[in-house]
Amino acid sequence: MDKLYIVIPAYNEEYNIAAVVREWHSVTVKTGADSRLVVIDDGSKDNTLRILQELALELPQLIPLTKPNGGHGATILYGYRYALDQSADFVFQTDADGQTVPDEFWAFWEKRADFAAIIGWRKYREDGFSRVLVTKIVKLVLFFVFGIIVTDANTPFRLICSSTLKKHIARIPENFNLSNIMLSVCLVKFNENITFIPITFRPRQGGVNSINFVKICKIGVKAIKDFIRLRKELKA
């Protein structure tokens, strides 16, 4: 049976984490006894880590990890590398804010043998116009920098076979803040067999997003510089 590791980064998610973990733990259990739900606390300042540790006492396939704060992208990479070190066959990533729908995972899981990676396309979005605008800008930036069209590069709903993930994760700087975008770029740029499936993307289910529009703009300016630098490395 295929061993799945679900990776979820979490920062100051005390209002969402219990519900999200319970939902995704149920998914984990259904995929097999060797599968694990790995939730990485990114140096939260609230009760996120304590809640995770308490949940682990009752949810046998939950692995709570913690690390110093390094940002969303760095935490995702941390989780990916952990999953690969544990010999996962497939790695799935989502976020801890409750915006994704666990029931939509099964359409991805059923197709796991057909594709190197399956990425969610946030066709049905309920998280506000500014977020939609950011996604469209990212799509344009990737076209102009890398010459590729990526349907939805930063979706936190993606299933990747471990061999493909291992091949491309080495191309991404360790603490790169937009790691999922760069992973999507690598998958498309190197012609991996991938597909995009429409998913629902709900409003944040509780708490406050730690990244506002101003921060997104600042991250974006830095990201463009990083993308231009990484473009040369991808040609190597």
* 4-234 has CATH 3.40.50.620 classification: no
Could you list the pLDDT tens digit for every one of the 236 residues in the chain? 899 999 999 999 999 999 999 999 999 999 999 999 999 999 999 999 999 999 999 999 999 999 999 999 999 999 999 999 999 999 999 999 999 999 999 999 999 999 999 999 987 766 656 667 777 888 888 998 899 999 999 999 999 999 999 999 999 988 888 899 999 999 999 999 999 999 998 876 555 555 555 565 665 666 677 777 777 777 64
pLDDT the model gives residue 230: 75
Exposed, middle or buried by CB within 10 Å (0-12, 13-18, 19+), for 195? middle
State the Cα–Cα distance between residues 166 and 164, nearest whole angstrom: 5
Chain center to CA of 75: 9
Structural domain boundaries of the chain? 4-234
Tokens found for residue 80: 């990916």
pTM (2 d.p.): 0.90
What is the pLDDT at residue 90? 98
| pLDDT value of residue 210 | 55
CA distance 139 to 129: 15
